[in-house]
Structure 1
Amino acid sequence: MDKHLFRMATLAMTLLAAGCASDPRGAAPLGATATARLATVKLDTVAATRIFNSYRASHGLGPVKLDPTLTAMAQRQANAMAAANTLSHDAGGSFVSRVHGAGLNAGRTAENVGGGYYSTEEAFAGWKASSGHDLNLRMPEATRFGIALAKAPQTQYGAWWALVIAGEPERRREITAGPFGTGAPAIR
């Protein structure tokens, strides 16, 4: 990839990620009621898939499927945010470096994070209401996603959410020797 194009893609992904931190509860620590409620918070991947696909269909977009690689990536990010008690795309390392480390194409990957949501439905409602998150949910080339929840009652949000959305990886074209004697490569 051209260095200039790579830099522009990296800058665009950084700016997009920076605009997608969702912060519904403010900085106050959890009280007794919120701590008790946190014990009931669960990630429902069936509901997440249904909500996500219904929303995408309402915008004329194709479905996404739950992906184990993206789910693991989301879980690491949710855990990192909970451990650092900070809502940030950089808690688990820069988004771009995490994307490349997972072998993904940064131009076809997005991330939503959130804190303080007490259900899968709440998390998606918050992301839909945020322009940057909403753009990610409606990413036209998306075909798969991973979602995760980390719970940490001693932190300001208690519930830490991460959603990683991606398109299919670009297929690498195989370059082989062309027809014998022509000197031209054959690309498949």
Structure 2
Amino acid sequence: MPSFLPRAAASRTMTCPVALAGALALLGVAGCAEPQRQAQPAFYRDLGSASAQVDTEQARAMISAYRLNAGLGPLALDPALVEAAQREATAMAGSDKPAQADAVKARLAREGQPGAEANLSAGYRRLAEAFSGWRDSPQHDRVMKDAKAKRMGIATAYAPGSKYQVYWALIVAP
């Protein structure tokens, strides 16, 4: 111990490097730990499996934001339209082909949903892909931007043996 330091100061001087070395060692070990994985956003989740379901709230938020950017109002999720969309997606997956929107709109009108519009498609594995495909297709874009629409339902169905695999139904209504 240096003679010019008081005994207490010398003791702190000797323990400080030990404490510092210990802290650095802990930081080093912590730095080796596997980084926390961020949850993948729902709009990028792969829906190509039997247990996968589209996140209806995320879809509503995405489509509503798109509508707001176009000067239109947001959409509300409607359980009856979600159920109707699920029936359509499941039927398409069962027949292994996309349905015709006009037939679906006529069926919805008979079921008490006059003025409903539908986007029916297949092959998109992620919500972001379906949204982009619909946005880039004039007829599908018109459905998302229907000025009369206030409510929506969306669903997917998986058909593992199909070339499309994931079938989509989006229904909007006044």
Residue of structure 2 equivalent to 1:38 = 48
Distance 2:156 2:172 in 1: 15
Local SS of the residue matching 1:135:
helix
Aligned residues of 1:149 and 1:159 also touching (Cα < 8 A)? yes
1:37 to partner: Cα distance: 7.4
Question: Please, which of 142, 147, 153 is the counterpart of residue 160 of structure 2?
Answer: 153
Equivalent pairs counted in the alignment come to: 128
Aligned residues of 1:66 and 1:144 also touching (Cα < 8 A)? yes
Distance 1:163 1:83 in 2: 17
1:118 to partner: Cα distance: 1.1
Mapped pair 1:84 → 2:95: yes
Local SS of the residue matching 1:142:
coil
Residue of structure 2 equivalent to 1:133 = 140
Identity %, equivalent residues:
36
Residue of structure 2 equivalent to 1:57 = 68
Cα pair distance change 1:37/1:79, threshold 3 Å: closer
Q: Which amino acid aligns with 2:157?
A: A
Distance 2:80 2:154 in 1: 10
Alignment of 1:1-188 (within 5 A): 38-39=48-49, 41-89=52-100, 94-105=103-114, 108-167=115-174
Structure 2: segments with no counterpart, 5+ residues = 1-45
Structure-1-length-normalised TM-score: 0.63
Aligned residues of 1:42 and 1:120 also touching (Cα < 8 A)? no
Local SS of the residue matching 1:95:
helix
CA-based RMSD: 1.9
Local SS of the residue matching 1:122:
helix
Residue of structure 2 equivalent to 1:24 = none
Structure-2-length-normalised TM-score: 0.68
Distance 2:47 2:69 in 1: 32
Between Structure 1 and Structure 2, the one with more strand by share is 1
The one-character-per-residue Cα deviations of 1:34-92 (angstroms, maximum 9, x if unpaired) are: xx9723853011210111111000000001011011111111110111111111226xx
Distance 1:99 1:144 in 2: 14
Q: Which has the larger radius of gyration?
A: 2
Q: Which amino acid aligns with 2:60?
A: T
Q: Which amino acid aligns with 2:54?
A: L
Structure 1: segments with no counterpart, 5+ residues = 1-35, 168-188
Q: Which amino acid aligns with 1:58?
A: N
Cα pair distance change 1:37/1:45, threshold 3 Å: closer
Distance 2:99 2:104 in 1: 10
Aligned residues of 1:57 and 1:63 also touching (Cα < 8 A)? yes
